[in-house]
A and B are shown apart, each in its own frame.
Chain A
Amino acid sequence: MSEILRCENVTKTFGSVTALNNVSLTLESGKIVGLLGPNGSGKTTLIKLINGLLTPNFGRLLVDGDEPGIVTKTKVAYLPDNIYLNGWMTIRQIVEYFEDFYEDFSPACAYEMLDRLGISPEKRLKTLSKGNKEKVCLILVMSRRARLYVLDEPIAGVDPAARDYVISTIINNYNPEATVLISTHLISDIEQILDEVLFIRNGHLVLHKSVEDIRAEEGKSVDELFREVFRW
C-alpha cells in the first residue's frame, strides 16, 4: 500500500495558542481513518493544513508526496464542517461547477445519489433544509474519485437516521484505493467502519493505532478507549 499522507513534526500556532504541536504521522491508502478528539483538540487545524487552507509554522506535510497546493487539491476531496456552497446556485449549477474544476468528479454519480434522496437538481441550495444541504455537500464530495477524502465532522448535528445515510454514502461511494479521514467526536456511530484511529489532544497526537489492535490489545472498543483517554 502506498503512503497518502505524511506529517513530519508539524506545528501550527495562532498567536500564543499552539493548535498542533510537533505532530508526526503517516497514513496509507485504502484505509478509513478516524481523527478523534474533543472540541478544540486540533482536528480541524490538521484538516485545514492537509487542504492547504493553513500553512504550518514548522514541519512538513505531504499529500501523496507533494506539499499542499494545486496538485494535491486535485487529489483531496474535502468536506468542511459548515455549508460552504453558494446558496443562490441551483444544485445543477453546483454539480457543473464541480465537474468543471475536478477531473475526478462524476456528475452521473452525483445525480444518482440526489435522485435517490428525491432532491431536484433544479432547486436552489438555499431552499433546502439544513440536513439536505449537508447531504448535498457530502454527495458532491463523495462523487469524486479522490485519493484522499477528508471529512470534517460529517455526522455532527444530524439526526440518527441522517447519520446512517451519511455513513452509508461514505462506505458505498468512496474510491476503495483511497483513504478516508473522518474527523468526529461521535465515535460509536462510525466505529464499525474505521480501520485506524488517530487520537488528538491539545494539539498532540496521543495515539495512532488500528481498530483491530485496540480491540485485541486493549480489549476495548474505540469508544471505550476514547472515554478512558479523554476522561476529565
Chain B
Amino acid sequence: MVKKLFRHELQAYWRVLLPVWGLLMGISVLGRLIQLFENDTVGYGIVRTSAITFYVVAVAVSLLFPFVFAIMRYYRNLFTGEGYLSFTLPVTPFQHILVKVTAALTVQLLTIAVCAVSLVLITFGDVFAELMKAVGYLIPYIYHQVGWGMNLPFFALEGLVLVVVAYVSETLLYYACISIGQTSKKNRVLAAVGVYFGYYFVRQVLGTIAIIIGTIVVWEPLFDWVRAHEFQATHIALCGLTVFYALLSVAYFAISHTIIRKRLNLE
C-alpha cells in the first residue's frame, strides 16, 4: 500500500513540478543562447544581467516551490474534502504521513538535481569548464586550509545527513502545525499559522535561555575544550544536531499521527 500511495503522491507532484522544471530549463537554455551574442554594447549588458537575474530568481522559486507544495498538499489531501477519500483508503495514518514526508523529500532532492542540470546548461561550454576548474582548485584548497585531510568527505557526509534530517524535521513541523490547526472549529489555516508562530516564539525563548545558562555555567570551559579538540567538536556538533533534529522529527510525527488518529475533524 505504501508503494501505491507513494506512486500516486508523486503523480500529484509531477503535475505541478514538471512545468516548473521545464520552465527553469527553458530559462537556462535561453540564458546560454544570449551568451552566444556577447558584445560590449550597453544593450547586451542589460539583456545579459536581466537573464542572469531571471535565472537566479527562477532557481530560488524552483527550490522553494516543492516545499510550499508539500505543505499545501498535506493540508488539502488530508484535511479538506479530499480527506474523505484519503482516510477511507485501507491505509494507516502512519503510512499517510510517512509517504507525504518521503515524497516531499524525494521531490526536493530531485529539484536540487534539476537546478544543478540547469546550471550546467546555462554555463555550458567555456564558462562551465572554468567553473569546474575553480571547483577543482577549491577542494584541495579547503583540504589544505582546514587541515582535516582525508576526513573532509566524512564531514561533508555528516553535513549532508544533517541537512536532510533538518529538512524532514522542518516539513514535519509544518505538518504538525497544520494537524493541530485543523482541530480548530473555524479558521483552521489561521490557527495552523498561529500554532507555528507560537511554537517558533517559544523555541526562540528557550534557545535564548539555554544560551544564557550555557554562558554562565559551562561556556568558557566548553570553548577551551572545543579549541583543544576542534576535530571531535565538529563531529559532535554535526552528529548532535542531527540527533536533535531527528528527535524533533519523531515528536512532530507523533503529534500529527495522534491528531489524525484521535482528533480528525474534516471539513
**B116 interface residue per 8 A CB criterion:** no
A101 touches B91 (CB 8 A): yes
Chain A interface SS verdict (over half) = loop
Which listed segment binds B: A27-35, A71-79, A206-214? Answer: A71-79
Chain A 10-42 near chain B by CB (<8 Å), digits 1 or 0: 000000000000000000000000000000000
CA distance A106 to B250 in the complex (A): 39
Quick one: given A53-B264, A70-B91, A88-B15, are A101 and B4 in contact (CB under 8 Å)? yes
Query: How many of chain A's residues have a CB under 8 angstroms from any CB in B?
Result: 25
Contact partner, B84, options A55, A74, A80, A88, Cβ 8 Å: A80
A54 touches B264 (CB 8 A): yes
Q: Which residue of chain A has its CB nearest to the CB of B11?
A: A93
Task: Give the residue among A76, A82, A83, A84 with the most B Cβ atoms within 10 A.
Answer: A84
B90: chain A residues at CB < 8 Å are: 70-71, 73-74, 101-102
Q: Which residue of chain A has its CB nearest to the CB of B77?
A: A86
Quick one: given A84-B82, A97-B8, A100-B8, are A51 and B15 in contact (CB under 8 Å)? no
- Nearest-CB distance from B259 to chain A (Å)? 12
**B88 interface residue per 8 A CB criterion:** yes
**B42 interface residue per 8 A CB criterion:** no
**A121 interface residue per 8 A CB criterion:** no
B88 touches A53 (CB 8 A): yes
Contact partner, B81, options A54, A78, A82, A97, Cβ 8 Å: A82
Quick one: given A54-B264, A101-B91, are A84 and B4 in contact (CB under 8 Å)? no
**A85 interface residue per 8 A CB criterion:** yes
A70 touches B8 (CB 8 A): no
**A52 interface residue per 8 A CB criterion:** yes
- Nearest-CB distance from A59 to chain B (Å)? 16
A101 touches B1 (CB 8 A): yes
CA distance A100 to B266 in the complex (A): 24
CA distance A85 to B83 in the complex (A): 9
B15 touches A76 (CB 8 A): no
Quick one: given A70-B90, A73-B90, A101-B91, are A85 and B4 in contact (CB under 8 Å)? no
A73 touches B88 (CB 8 A): yes
A73: chain B residues at CB < 8 Å are: 88-91
B4: chain A residues at CB < 8 Å are: 100-101
A residues 193-230 near B (Cβ < 8 Å) are none
CA distance A70 to B96 in the complex (A): 12
CA distance A73 to B92 in the complex (A): 10
- Nearest-CB distance from A60 to chain B (Å)? 16
CA distance A108 to B44 in the complex (A): 61
8 chain-A/chain-B pairs, Cβ below 8 angstroms: A55-B262, A70-B92, A73-B89, A73-B91, A74-B90, A84-B83, A86-B82, A101-B1
